[in-house]
Amino acid sequence: MTIQGHLFSAPLTTEARQVPVHLIVPPDTTQVIPSIQQLGVMQSVLLKPSGNPAVPYLIVDGDRRINSALKYHIETVPALITDGTRGQIAAASAILNAARSSNPLDEARSWQVALSDGHFVSVTDLAHHVHISAQTIKQRLKLLKLPETILIHVGVSIAEGVAQRLANLGDDYLPQAILAAERKLDAGEKFTGADLKITQTARVNDLQGSLDDLFSGLPLLTVQTDPLGGLINEVRRLAQHAGIDLDTLLDALRPTPASAPPRPVPAPLPAPTTPVPIQAARVNAFPAHPGRVNLGLRN
């Protein structure tokens, strides 16, 4: 692969040859590829000069293939020897690791070497030349914030994704999460995403407790409220937003005087009863004929 720019302005010089495994500096990995025991190493490894006559080659790409060859007693492996600079080799190694997603730590260390070698002024500059997003490179580099006590377990007792989430934690959470991870890993247990979530929850509870302790002795603030004033301001705001004149609104809100209820019509009084005169017997106070009493009897 040739990448245009000041990293690989010209293709790297490579030489293909069969290299005895004992002339290669042993890799750090313990992983093997089982199929190599039957088929041998079919894909060339990428090597560079080490400067040490006893073991003149360093592995740029192919750690597992070399380790498998050592384990299965394969004497020679096909290899490409390159003459690239330290920065070029580191960038090339990172590109190969990124393409295979084989080992994020190796990828992160390669990006770090490529940046520290002085070829690039920033991650963005590096990303531009290797055609990998700056965000991907930054995510990998964050892994190197973790202590070596954590990194040695990545891919074994702690999944790569969990390690990446751990590295992405802020400074408020990271120290406590690292301690929790180290306790489980030292006990021979795996540190999982669930463990990481528990650690974050515990940290939130601790912060809440600290805030409660901080403000427990302080009097509560009394906020003065004016419900009527707030209502007036809100009505003004709504009227202005709707383009309604306040006087018109007030007239609409003002209650209409209720008309007086009609007076009940009094029931007609019963007609007065005319008393029937009683004919009283007329009695002459003075009899018409003296000495005689008129008893009202007829002859």
Residue 242 lies in a domain: no
Distance CA 299, CA 285 (A): 21
Per-residue model confidence (pLDDT) at position 2: 36
Contact 146, 178 (CB under 8 A): yes
Residue 167 lies in a domain: yes
Distance CA 242, CA 218 (A): 45
Helix axes 227-242, 246-253, angle to 10 degrees: 120
Tokens in use for 121? 């002024």
Residue 164 lies in a domain: yes
Rounded to a whole number, what is the distance in angstroms from the first to the last CA of the chain? 172
Kindly list the averaged pLDDT for each block of 10 residues, start to end, along the chain of length 299. Answer: 44 79 92 88 87 91 90 92 70 65 73 74 82 86 89 86 88 86 90 85 59 58 70 84 82 70 62 57 52 52
Tokens 């600290």 label which residue? 210
Residue 174 lies in a domain: yes
> 226-246 pLDDT, tens per residue?
788 888 888 888 888 888 888
Residue 103's CB: how many other CB atoms inside 10 A? 18
> 3-state DSSP call for residue 12?
coil
Q: How many domains does the chain have?
A: 1
Residue 35 lies in a domain: no
> 3-state DSSP call for residue 88?
helix
Q: Supply the range of the domain harboring residue 175.
A: 147-207
Tokens 């740029």 label which residue? 60
10 Å CB burial of residue 232 (0-12, 13-18, 19+) is exposed
Residue 165 lies in a domain: yes
Distance CA 219, CA 238 (A): 37
Enclosing H/E stretch for 249: helix 246-253
Residue 290 lies in a domain: no
Per-residue model confidence (pLDDT) at position 70: 94
Contact 141, 123 (CB under 8 A): yes
What pairing do the DSSP bridges indicate for beta strands 45-49 and 57-61?
antiparallel
Per-residue model confidence (pLDDT) at position 208: 57
Residue 187's CB: how many other CB atoms inside 10 A? 7
Enclosing H/E stretch for 45: strand 45-49
Alpha helices (H) along 101-151: 104-116, 123-130, 134-142, 148-151
Distance CA 139, CA 165 (A): 10
Per-residue model confidence (pLDDT) at position 6: 46
- Tell if the pTM clears 0.85, that is, is over it: no
Residue 258 lies in a domain: no
> 152-200 pLDDT, tens per residue?
888 888 988 899 889 988 887 888 889 989 998 888 899 998 888 887 7
Length of the chain, please? 299
